[in-house]
């Protein structure tokens, strides 16, 4: 089976990461510590218009034994393989604009998912295997976990490739024995990857919303990643179920607030701002206009860049970007212009409570 994957633009990628959050009231507060993101596919907002994009991507040939699944969220492709005892293995392909984060941070995040301790920089090279393809040389890491709480050990194969200004990630996760049986097929799959020379228009479609625990404050912070950002919210904010790669979601009146983070610069500040402007019906701006229209907020050694966008249809966005610890965090307030600006003061108060460990 040969598959051609056309990479969605940063507009689409970060559309899936937009997070809604907002606040009001001063009476009592709740303190949350939020974990790093998982590798679950991120959802797009139901009902939002999606713009067709033209991109050149990668192509590959998957083993006949793998079953193709519909791509969802941030996944460009998904497959299922089965072990000799009918174990289900999940194979995914995702991509991010930019460098996708530091190799060591990514490897340690994956190790944390299967219960392994983090590596040091000196140990990283010995944990990698080079796999050559016509699209370039991939780095492959094999994380064999340990049994935990009566559950069988998990194993995660992850490979990545920097190509065309993007970072591509190829992963297989499942029962350790079954992954070991399928490892050679996975490596063979990586070797078939090629660069697609023919651009094609792809119409992106809304993805279903995925649910996660309603209260993420009790979720342990992965030791492989270290502590995460913390913040304080007021009691009037309504905690919403977190989804996929969101850190947290809140609602206040008719406005919504959300928090998310991705490795690397995720395309850069200007690209994200223009994506948000497009969402509310505004035209793109250049760097000089961005510099004039954005404001800075320095809080407890953290540097936020804040933008406002109000469209002709009264949709509005106030968003704060925060580069931190090799990732970019997004704090976003969305709704009608009346609802958003009614919550603006409390949103800015909230940003002032964010702090690093």
Does the pLDDT of residue 204 top 80, yes or no? Answer: no
DSSP for 41-74? PPPPPTT-----EEE--EEEE--TTSEEE---TT
pLDDT(210) > 70: no
pLDDT of 215 strictly over 90: no
Mean per-residue pLDDT of the chain: 75
Mean per-residue pLDDT for 177-187?
95
Q: 120 Cβ partners below 8 Å, 6+ apart?
A: none
Cβ-defined contacts of 300-308 (< 8 Å, 24+): 300/354, 300/355, 300/356, 301/356, 302/354, 302/355, 302/356, 304/331, 304/351, 305/269, 306/351, 307/273, 307/276
Q: State yes or no: pLDDT of 234 exceeds 90.
A: no
Specify whether the CB–CB gap between 230 and 36 falls below 8 A.
Answer: no
According to the model, what pLDDT value does residue 147 have? 83
pLDDT band of residue 279 (cuts 50, 70, 90) is: confident
**What's the confidence (pLDDT) of residue 304?**
93
- List beta partners, residue 252: 255
pLDDT at residue 72 in the model: 62
Higher pLDDT pick, 15 / 202: 15
Question: Could you tell me whether strands 302-310 and 315-324 are parallel, antiparallel, or unpaired per DSSP bridges?
Answer: antiparallel
Strand, coil or helix: what is 355? strand
Q: How far apart are CA 318 and CA 337, in angstroms?
A: 10
pLDDT tens for 44-56 read 322 233 333 334 4
Burial 53-82 (b: 16+ CB within 10 A, else e): bebebbbbebbeebeeeebbbbbbbbbebb
The structural domains of the chain, ordered by start, are 10-49+206-351 (3.40.1000), 58-195 (3.40.1000.10)
Quick one: pLDDT at residue 239? Answer: 87
Higher pLDDT, 32 or 117: 117
pLDDT at 40: 37
Residue 197 is predicted with a pLDDT of 61
pLDDT in tens, 61-118: 999 999 998 876 567 888 999 988 888 999 999 887 777 778 888 888 888 888 888 8
| pLDDT at 55 (0 to 100) | 43
pLDDT, tens digit (0-9, with 9 covering 90-100), for 286-325: 888 988 899 999 988 899 999 999 998 889 999 999 988 8
Note the pLDDT of residue 243.
64
| Cα→Cα distances 291→97, 273, 298, 305, 334, Å | 22, 11, 16, 10, 22
Q: Where are the beta strands (DSSP E) in 164-301?
A: 166-175, 194-195, 200-202, 230-234, 238-240, 246-252, 255-263, 295-299
**Higher pLDDT among residues 144 and 50, named by residue:** 144
> Is 354 a residue whose pLDDT tops 50?
yes
What pLDDT is attached to residue 224? 30
Max avg pLDDT among 223-227, 277-281, 329-333: 329-333
Task: Indicate the SS3 state at residue 348.
Answer: helix
Res. 11: pLDDT tops 70: no
User: Where residue 233 falls among pLDDT bands split at 50, 70, 90?
Assistant: confident
CA distance 15 to 206: 10
Q: How many Å separate Cα 58 from the centre of its chain? A: 20
Q: How confident is the model at residue 163 (pLDDT cuts 50, 70, 90)?
A: confident
Model confidence over 237-258: pLDDT tens digits?
888 876 656 788 898 889 999 8
Query: pLDDT over 70 for what percent of the chain?
Result: 74
**Burial state string for 317-330 with b = 16 or more CB within 10 A and e = fewer than 16:** bbbbbbbbbebbbb
Per-residue pLDDT at 173: 93
Mean pLDDT is highest, among 50-59, 207-216, 218-227, 301-310, for 301-310
């Amino acid at each position: 089976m040969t598959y051609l994957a056309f990479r969605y633009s940063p507009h689409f990628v970060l559309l899936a990461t937009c997070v809604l959050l907002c606040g009001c009231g001063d009476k009592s507060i709740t303190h949350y510590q939020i974990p790093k993101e998982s590798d679950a596919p991120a959802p797009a907002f139901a009902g939002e218009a999606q713009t067709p994009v033209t991109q050149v991507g990668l192509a590959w040939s998957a083993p006949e034994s793998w079953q193709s699944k519909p791509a969802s969220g941030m996944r460009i492709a998904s497959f299922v393989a089965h072990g000799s005892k009918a174990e289900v293995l999940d194979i995914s392909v995702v991509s991010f604009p930019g460098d996708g984060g530091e190799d060591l941070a990514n490897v340690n995040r994956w190790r944390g998912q299967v219960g392994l301790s983090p590596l040091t920089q000196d140990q990283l090279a010995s944990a990698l295997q080079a796999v050559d393809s016509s699209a370039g040389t991939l780095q492959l890491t094999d994380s064999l976990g340990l049994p935990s709480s009566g559950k069988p050990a998990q194993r995660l194969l992850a490979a990545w490739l920097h190509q065309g200004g993007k970072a591509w990630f190829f992963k297989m996760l499942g029962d350790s024995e079954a992954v070991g049986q399928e490892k050679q097929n996975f490596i063979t799959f990586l070797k078939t990857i090629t660069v697609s020379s023919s651009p094609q228009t792809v119409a992106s479609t809304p993805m279903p919303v995925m649910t996660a625990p309603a209260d993420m404050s009790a979720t342990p912070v992965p030791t492989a990643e270290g502590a995460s950002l913390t913040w304080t919210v007021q009691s009037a904010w309504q905690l919403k179920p977190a989804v996929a790669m969101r850190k947290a979601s809140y609602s206040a009146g008719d406005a919504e607030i959300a928090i998310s983070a991705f490795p690397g610069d995720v395309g850069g500040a200007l690209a994200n701002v223009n994506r948000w402007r497009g969402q509310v019906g505004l035209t793109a701006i250049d760097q000089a206009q961005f510099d004039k229209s954005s404001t800075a907020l320095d809080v407890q050694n953290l540097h936020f860049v804040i933008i406002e966008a109000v469209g002709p249809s009264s949709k509005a966005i106030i968003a704060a970007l925060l580069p931190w610890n090799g990732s970019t965090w997004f704090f976003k307030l969305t709704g009608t212009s009346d609802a958003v600006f009614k919550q603006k003061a409390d949103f800015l108060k909230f940003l002032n409570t964010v702090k690093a460990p």
